[in-house]
């Protein structure tokens, strides 16, 4: 009975979120017949001041309802998974309160299209993500949490600057078009603010560092909520960004570089969770690239399918780590197909979906992106970078499966080895169904808007090469064995995320915090205190002492004061 009372919070939360997800899918997506180009807007006006209306709008369209449905589905699976994964946690109810606060902030961000009220969900995600990353309360978690919250603060500042500039148009929603001198600047600030949340170059260091959080948190944060908030923000205000093609061109190039950088880094990473985190970063770069070349609806489609199989990938990794006594090094893991057959099967299946295997969820969106890349107006070098980055997904996925799943086990004795619980099996089964049929069921919503792209035979061959080109990993590593000869000199550069940790991580968490301490010492505790609080207190203290001396009643003091006043009056008179 005590066990049921202990796990009642995640169990009830999981069932509740599953019910909300089913309600949104059945009544919101299927029965309401919402389309991508139409929807419903509900707006409450609080007051109007100086021509500016302060309103709280809620938009109900196909994007928001479907996204909220997937967020609740993944959150319910994470809550159910936490019943077993966090069973030894003392403050389990506090953990579930943070999870529910995170889900609430994300839904507030999804349904509110106003730039000023979107800060409620945006800041809520940043604050709750900091509390979740530092949940284990050690130095590693604290460092990762500080890096996460500082990068998110940069995005908050940029959004506040957007609000300060967009007041000239008299509309907080950024949906009436950006005209005027500040249009390019506002769109650029909005895009860079979204890049901080989605960990694009040069703000990529915080995403792998945030793996210090518990694995259920990673499954929720790095699949469908925090990291996709920046992508969703750019998609929601795309109608204004399309009027500034320079910003979209910049976004496509940054997305392509992030895609290539994260894919190369994942090929050299050994930590199980960081490999999955870098694959998330790679897919986020692909989404940003798709928005930059002018296909936001396809980016939304890939965002939804990615959320399904990436959450499953994290839950499989969490089940393996939990069963293997917190072992995350892929070089130690091995033989999982015999030790954990269900978790390893789901891990292989989600990796195959990530690679874009035909007729699975990832295929429908990834194939659309590659086809439209050939039909868009971009340079050959940019197209080559995107194709190379997209082809790396099969390389690091196969590397993970060959070493971690089908390789030899190099760990300790299996006496402490555990097995999956029923709650883990149910949560992974639900997401497995979504990863298999999610793309097929969602394509009906998008096919009317996207239509189809006609590409030539060469483009189709190249798409097949990108999708299955990672099979050359067998030839490269297992047969020819020239990996170290080719990548020996570049291994450190590629495995360090192109020094993004030094560029953004050390700059924000190291130099930024040091400069903050120096400013505190020399400003808050220095001359500002002399001219401010402490200086004012000292001056007031001396004035009180002088006044008490004057009022002391001594005849000598009165004569001196009278003489000084007489001299002062004579000087003024003359």
Residue with the larger pLDDT of the pair 539 and 527? 539
On whether the CB atoms of residues 288 and 198 are closer than 8 A, the answer is yes
| Widest CA span in the chain | 111
Q: What is the pLDDT of residue 1?
A: 47
Arithmetic mean of pLDDT, 365-371: 81
On whether the CB atoms of residues 495 and 265 are closer than 8 A, the answer is yes
In terms of domains, do 323 and 233 share one?
no
Residue with the larger pLDDT of the pair 139 and 485? 139
In terms of domains, do 37 and 104 share one?
yes
In terms of domains, do 224 and 292 share one?
no
* Per-residue pLDDT at 453 exceeds 70: no
Query: How many residues are there in the chain?
Result: 574
* Per-residue pLDDT at 57 exceeds 60: yes
Query: Is residue 86 in a domain?
Result: yes
In terms of domains, do 142 and 24 share one?
yes
In terms of domains, do 280 and 212 share one?
no
* Per-residue pLDDT at 443 exceeds 70: yes
* Per-residue pLDDT at 477 exceeds 70: no
Phi, psi at 189, each rounded to 5°: -65, -40
**Dihedral Cα 6, 14, 272, 474, nearest 10 deg:** 140
CA–CA distance, 241 with 245 (Å, rounded to integer): 7
Of 482, 514, 538, the one marking the end of a domain is 482
State percent of the chain over pLDDT 90. Answer: 0
In terms of domains, do 227 and 252 share one?
no
- Whether this prediction's pTM lies above 0.85 is answered by no
* Per-residue pLDDT at 451 exceeds 60: no
Mean pLDDT of the chain: 76
Query: Is residue 502 in a domain?
Result: no
Query: Is residue 552 in a domain?
Result: no
* Per-residue pLDDT at 65 exceeds 80: yes
pLDDT in tens, 67-81: 888 888 888 888 888
The 8-class DSSP code of residue 45 comes to E
Q: How many domains does the chain have?
A: 2
Arithmetic mean of pLDDT, 451-465: 63
Residue 93's domain comprises 1-181+198-238
* Per-residue pLDDT at 143 exceeds 70: yes
In terms of domains, do 345 and 410 share one?
yes
* Per-residue pLDDT at 558 exceeds 80: no
Q: Choose the weakest-confidence range: 145-149, 348-352, 474-478.
A: 474-478
pLDDT band at 166 (very low <50, low <70, confident <90, very high): confident
pLDDT band at 449 (very low <50, low <70, confident <90, very high): very low
Arithmetic mean of pLDDT, 113-121: 79
Q: For residue 271, list its beta bridge partners.
A: 329
The 8-class DSSP code of residue 31 comes to S
Query: Is residue 224 in a domain?
Result: yes
* Per-residue pLDDT at 478 exceeds 60: no
Q: What is the pLDDT of residue 531?
A: 66
**Angstrom distances, CA of residue 364 to CA of 65, 87, 447, 449, 532:** 20, 38, 11, 15, 63
In terms of domains, do 343 and 211 share one?
no
In terms of domains, do 214 and 286 share one?
no
pLDDT in tens, 269-295: 777 888 888 888 888 888 888 888 888
Of 482, 502, 530, the one marking the end of a domain is 482
In terms of domains, do 44 and 59 share one?
yes
Query: Is residue 496 in a domain?
Result: no
pLDDT band at 180 (very low <50, low <70, confident <90, very high): low
Residue with the larger pLDDT of the pair 160 and 491? 160
Of 482, 507, 522, the one marking the end of a domain is 482
In terms of domains, do 92 and 213 share one?
yes
On whether the CB atoms of residues 340 and 419 are closer than 8 A, the answer is yes
Q: What angle do CA 478, 271, 224 make, to 5 degrees?
A: 110
* Per-residue pLDDT at 94 exceeds 80: yes
Q: Choose the weakest-confidence range: 21-25, 159-163, 167-171, 345-349.
A: 167-171
Query: Is residue 472 in a domain?
Result: yes
The stretches of 267-340 forming alpha helices (DSSP H) are 272-292, 296-323, 336-339
In terms of domains, do 64 and 78 share one?
yes
* Per-residue pLDDT at 185 exceeds 70: yes
For the chain, percent helix, then strand, then coil, each to nearest 5? 75, 5, 20
Angle between helices 422-450 and 361-375 (to 10 degrees): 30
Query: Is residue 410 in a domain?
Result: yes
Q: Decide: helix, strand or coil at residue 86.
A: coil
Q: What is the pLDDT of residue 523?
A: 67
Q: What is the pLDDT of residue 28?
A: 67
Residue with the larger pLDDT of the pair 37 and 554? 554
Query: Is residue 517 in a domain?
Result: no
pLDDT in tens, 407-424: 666 666 555 566 677 888
């Amino acid at each position: 009975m005590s066990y049921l009372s202990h796990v009642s919070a995640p169990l009830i939360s999981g069932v509740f979120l599953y019910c909300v997800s089913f309600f949104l899918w059945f009544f919101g997506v299927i029965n309401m017949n919402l389309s991508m180009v139409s929807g419903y807007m509900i707006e409450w006006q609080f007051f109007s001041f100086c021509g500016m209306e302060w309103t709280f709008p809620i938009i109900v369209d196909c994007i928001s309802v479907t996204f909220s449905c997937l967020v609740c589905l993944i959150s319910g699976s994470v809550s159910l998974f936490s019943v077993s994964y966090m069973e030894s946690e003392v403050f389990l109810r506090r953990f579930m309160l943070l999870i529910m606060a995170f889900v609430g902030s994300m839904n507030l961000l999804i349904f509110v299209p106003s730039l000023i009220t979107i800060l409620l969900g945006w800041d809520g995600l940043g604050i709750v993500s900091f509390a979740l990353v530092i949940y284990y309360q050690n130095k590693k978690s604290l460092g990762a949490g500080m890096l996460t919250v500082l990068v998110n603060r940069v995005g908050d500042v940029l959004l506040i600057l957007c609000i300060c500039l967009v007041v000239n148009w008299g509309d907080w929603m950024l949906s009436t078009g950006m005209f005027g001198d500040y249009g390019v600047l506002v769109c650029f600030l909005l895009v860079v603010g979204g890049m901080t949340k989605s960990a694009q170059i040069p703000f990529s260091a915080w995403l792998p560092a945030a793996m210090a959080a518990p694995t259920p948190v990673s499954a929720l944060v790095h699949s469908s909520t925090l990291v996709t908030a920046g992508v969703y923000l750019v998609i929601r205000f795309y109608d204004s960004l399309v009027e500034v093609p320079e910003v979209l061109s910049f976004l496509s190039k940054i997305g392509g570089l992030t895609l290539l950088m994260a894919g190369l880094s994942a090929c050299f990473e050994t930590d199980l969770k960081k490999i999955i985190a870098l694959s998330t970063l790679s897919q986020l770069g692909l989404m940003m690239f798709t928005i930059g070349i002018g296909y936001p609806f396809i980016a939304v489609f890939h965002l939804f399918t990615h959320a399904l199989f990436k959450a499953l990938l994290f839950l499989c990794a969490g089940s393996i780590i939990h069963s293997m006594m917190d072992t995350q090094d892929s070089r130690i893991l091995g033989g999982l197909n015999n030790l954990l057959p269900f978790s390893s099967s789901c891990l292989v299946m989600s990796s195959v979906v990530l690679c874009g295997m035909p007729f699975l969820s990832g295929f429908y969106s990834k194939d659309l992106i590659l086809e439209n890349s050939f039909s868009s107006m971009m340079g050959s070098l940019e197209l080559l970078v995107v194709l190379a980055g997209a082809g790396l997904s099969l390389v690091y996925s196969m590397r993970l499966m060959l070493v971690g799943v089908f390789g030899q086990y190099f760990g300790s004795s299996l006496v402490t080895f555990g097995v999956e619980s029923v709650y883990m099996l149910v949560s992974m089964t639900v997401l497995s169904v979504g990863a298999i049929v999610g793309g097929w069921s969602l394509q009906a919503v998008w096919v009317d808007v996207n239509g189809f792209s006609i590409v030539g035979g060469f483009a189709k061959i190249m798409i097949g090469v990108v999708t299955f080109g990672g099979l050359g990993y067998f030839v490269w590593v297992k047969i020819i064995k020239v990996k170290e000869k080719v990548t020996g000199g570049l291994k450190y550069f590629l495995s360090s995320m192109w020094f993004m940790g030094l560029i953004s991580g050390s700059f924000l968490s190291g130099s930024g915090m040091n400069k903050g301490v120096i400013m505190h010492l020399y400003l808050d505790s220095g001359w500002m205190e002399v001219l401010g609080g402490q200086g004012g207190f000292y001056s007031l203290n001396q004035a009180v002492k002088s006044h008490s001396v004057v009022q002391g009643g001594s005849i000598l003091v009165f004569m001196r004061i009278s003489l000084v006043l007489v001299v002062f009056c004579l000087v003024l008179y003359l």
